[in-house]
Chain A
Amino acid sequence: MIGVVLALALLPYTVVGDAVPAPLVEAPGDPARGRAVVTSRQRGLCLLCHTGPFPEERFQGDLAPSLAGVGSRLSEGQIRLRLIDSRRLDPGSIMPSYYRTDGLERVGAAWRDKPVLSAEEIEDVVAFLATLRD
């Protein structure tokens, strides 16, 4: 499956199979910033659902598989698509689509027409998750 997805205000990306192989932005992602996004309850929200190798973080959720070792299981491109639009792979998934603004209802005024994460943040998180190896 190859498709070019164009959304208002969002950068275009190309889906190849179950991955988005090319980064959204040219500047390489920064794993340290990505870790901060993943562990933030305001930005990434990831630990509301996922557990992971973050011993200092209390109150990790159990709605989703652990992020430990995800960099060994998935390629960067596969991780990127799961962040951008996880529901494209599985419409029944509860994992939010972090880089999508279309097809949403009653979005709160503060969040309207904005993706959950910016393109730069997506690349930071991809770079960080790629370092989580078994």
Chain B
Amino acid sequence: MSAGSRRLSFLGVGVAPVLIVSALVGSAAVGLADADGDSRRSGFDFMGPQTQAMQGDDTSNPGMLAVLEGEDIWNRKAGAADKSCADCHGDAARSMHGVAAHYPAFDTGTGGPINLDQRINTCREKNQEAEPFPWESAEILALSAYVGLQSRGMPVQVGDDARLAGAIKAGDEAFHRKQGQLDFSCADCHDANWDRKLGGSVIPQGHATGYPIYRLEWQSMGSLQRRLRNCMAGVRAEPYSYGSPEFVELELYLMSRSRGMAVETPAVRP
């Protein structure tokens, strides 16, 4: 039994056969790639049917609680400017449609890539005149899950901005660089050994199409950088710090590698 199915019963989430139908709908775009001979596969495809069903049905997907919280924050006035996100952006279903599919994106302010969390916090500081949310706080995860949901099912669009070519290359090099006491690169696992078992876990291809995710092992939401810190700690490397340029470059490379695959936010992972 996988950790996922163990936790399923722990969470008391029943998996009725009817959920399978919505799971298929939820993942339709995920499987589409195969039709044109694309061998890329979402982490979704490597999960057990119960965890897939949990992600596929919004009433059982625990990430939807974060989405609801995010919607709340979206509409709540904050900061010295006393403005909500909605005051500037209106209905997220329209204004945020497709936005997350483009992140990390070039930021004219910094002249480099920023990820979605950083973009949200830029708005908080500049436009709401409020304190930025701390990394991994419930608030930033909720808002990025809410904004992310507005792109669910849309193809990832990252990778065609010429201004980011250098940063993508840096991320690509980091992906292929051996590190840690165990001396592994990301590619050693995610390019060379995907679909094999590392202990009890199937190694996915490492497509970050569903972040922020609800991870059963964490029993909470978490960002892509938290996931990557786990992978780095696993090979006994010193993880990059949250928000560091190295992390954003790696994130950027990962998303360019997933270009065209469907956004799944909020995904569930074991």
Q: Is A109 an interface residue (CB 8 A)?
A: yes
Query: Which residues of chain B are near A49, meaning CB under 8 Å?
Result: 198
Q: Nearest Cβ in chain A — how far from B249, in angstroms?
A: 15
Q: Is B236 an interface residue (CB 8 A)?
A: yes
B199 touches A116 (CB 8 A): no
Interface residue count for A (Cβ, 8 Å)? 26
B172-205 CB contacts (< 8 Å) to partner A: 177-184, 188, 192-193, 196-200
Partner of A59, one of B184, B188, B200, B233: B200
Partner of B184, one of A58, A94, A108: A94
The residue in chain B whose Cβ has the minimal distance to the Cβ of A116 is: B181
Q: Is B224 an interface residue (CB 8 A)?
A: no
Q: Is B237 an interface residue (CB 8 A)?
A: yes
Residue-wise interface mask of A (105-129) relative to B, using a CB-CB cutoff of 8 A (1 in contact, 0 not):
1111111101010000000000000
Query: Which residues of chain B are near A112, meaning CB under 8 Å?
Result: 181
A48 to B182, CA, bound (A): 12
A112 to B236, CA, bound (A): 9
Asked if A96 meets B199 with Cβ closer than 8 Å, knowing A63-B193, A105-B177, A108-B237, the reply is no
Residue-wise interface mask of B (23-56) relative to A, using a CB-CB cutoff of 8 A (1 in contact, 0 not):
0000000000000000000000000000000000
A107 touches B237 (CB 8 A): yes
Q: Is B82 an interface residue (CB 8 A)?
A: no
Q: Nearest Cβ in chain A — how far from B5, in angstroms?
A: 13
A94 to B184, CA, bound (A): 7
Q: Nearest Cβ in chain A — how far from B226, in angstroms?
A: 16
B200 touches A111 (CB 8 A): no
A78-116 CB contacts (< 8 Å) to partner B: 87, 94, 96-97, 104-112, 114, 116
A61 touches B183 (CB 8 A): no
Q: Is A19 an interface residue (CB 8 A)?
A: no
Q: Is B238 an interface residue (CB 8 A)?
A: yes
Q: Nearest Cβ in chain B — how far from A59, in angstroms?
A: 3
Partner of B183, one of A97, A108, A110: A97
Q: Is A41 an interface residue (CB 8 A)?
A: yes
Asked if A61 meets B182 with Cβ closer than 8 Å, knowing A107-B236, A108-B238, A109-B238, the reply is no
A62 touches B233 (CB 8 A): no
Looking at A96, A97, A114, the one whose CB has the most chain B CB atoms below 10 A away is: A96
The residue in chain B whose Cβ has the minimal distance to the Cβ of A41 is: B199
Query: Which residues of chain A are near B233, meaning CB under 8 Å?
Result: 108
Q: Nearest Cβ in chain A — how far from B174, in angstroms?
A: 10
Q: Nearest Cβ in chain B — how far from A8, in angstroms?
A: 15
Query: Which residues of chain B are near A87, meaning CB under 8 Å?
Result: 183
Query: Which residues of chain A are near B188, meaning CB under 8 Å?
Result: 94
* 19 extra A-B contacts, CB within 8 A, seeds A49-B198, A61-B199, A96-B182: A48-B198, A59-B199, A61-B197, A61-B198, A63-B193, A63-B196, A63-B197, A87-B183, A96-B184, A104-B180, A104-B183, A105-B180, A106-B238, A107-B179, A107-B180, A108-B233, A108-B238, A112-B181, A114-B181
5 A/B residue pairs, CB under 8 Å, sorted by A: A63-B196, A87-B183, A94-B184, A106-B180, A108-B237
A interface residues (Cβ-Cβ under 8 A, vs B) = 41, 45, 47-49, 58-63, 87, 94, 96-97, 104-112, 114, 116
B interface residues (Cβ-Cβ under 8 A, vs A) = 177-184, 188, 192-193, 196-200, 232-233, 236-239
